[in-house]
Amino acid sequence: MKETIENRAEIIDFSFSVVETGIKMMYHCNFETSLSIEDLMKLLQFFDKYNIPSLKDKVESHLIAQISASNVCHLTNASILSNYFKLAIAIYSNIDQIKRELFNKSRVRYCNIIV
């Protein structure tokens, strides 16, 4: 493999901030980040792609704690497309609370959930 010969790897399918956070988590095992929900989902994909289940679980748990009316559609679609079952179950488990939030907020954007 090219990576073995050159002693380096080029990761082109994730942003620098996602890769940097992922590597820091691998070495320091702490999870303090200012990444957006979108980048957190990319970080989840990063750990999924490179088969790092313990850190994938940490990020998925963090996303579960962030579920709200404003991001539920986005997180639901991500869980469906990527088979993140914990995230999907958490969304389903909190659906009544999310529905109340959605109906109480007039500024929540409309979105489509993939079926």
CA distances from 17 to 22, 43, 114 (A): 8, 9, 28
**pLDDT tens digit string along 8-36?**
888 889 999 999 999 999 988 666 678 89
- How far apart, in Å, do the first and last CA atoms of the chain sit? 39
pLDDT band at 112 (very low <50, low <70, confident <90, very high): low
| pLDDT above 90: percentage of residues in the chain | 36
Q: What global pTM score does this model have?
A: 0.77
Domain shared by 53 and 76, yes or no = no
Domain shared by 45 and 83, yes or no = no
Instruction: Give Cβ neighbours of residue 40 (< 8 Å, ≥ 6 apart).
Output: 33, 59, 62, 63, 66
Domain carrying residue 113: 67-115
Instruction: Give Cβ neighbours of residue 95 (< 8 Å, ≥ 6 apart).
Output: none
**pLDDT tens digit string along 89-109?**
998 888 888 777 777 765 555
Instruction: At 14, list the tokens.
Output: 């994730």
Given the structure tokens 């200012």, which residue do they identify?
Answer: 34
Domain shared by 88 and 102, yes or no = yes
